[in-house]
Amino acid sequence: MQFLLDLLGAIANAGDTVTEFFKSIPDYFGQLVVWGNAWYVKLKFLWLIYSLELAYKTAEYLLNDIGFNDMLASFFNALPDEIR
C-alpha cells in the first residue's frame, strides 16, 4: 500500500515539476534576452576598441608618410634659443 502511495506522490511531483517548468518559461525568455543584450553590448565595445586602434594606426601611418614629425622637429629646432 505504501508503494502505491509513494508512486502516486512521485507522479504528482513530476506533474508539478512540469507545470512549474511551463510557468517559468517567461522568466527563462527574459534571462535569454538579458544574456543576448549583454553579448551585443560586449561585441559593440570590442568593435569600438578595434575601430579606435585602426584609426590610430591609420593616422600614425599618414603622419609619417607626409613627414609631419620631421617637419615639426625642424620647426622647433629653427626657433631661437630663448624661446625653446
Tell me the residue range of the domain where 43 lies. 2-78
Which residue is it, cell 624661446? 83
Number of structural domains the chain divides into = 1
Q: Please state, in angstroms and as integers, the Cα–Cα distance from residue 12 to each residue in 6, 9, 30, 77, following that order.
A: 10, 5, 28, 90
Tens of pLDDT, residues 14-60: 777 778 888 889 999 999 999 999 999 999 999 999 999 999 999 99
Q: Is residue 83 part of a domain?
A: no
* Predicted TM-score (pTM) of this structure: 0.57
Q: Is residue 73 part of a domain?
A: yes
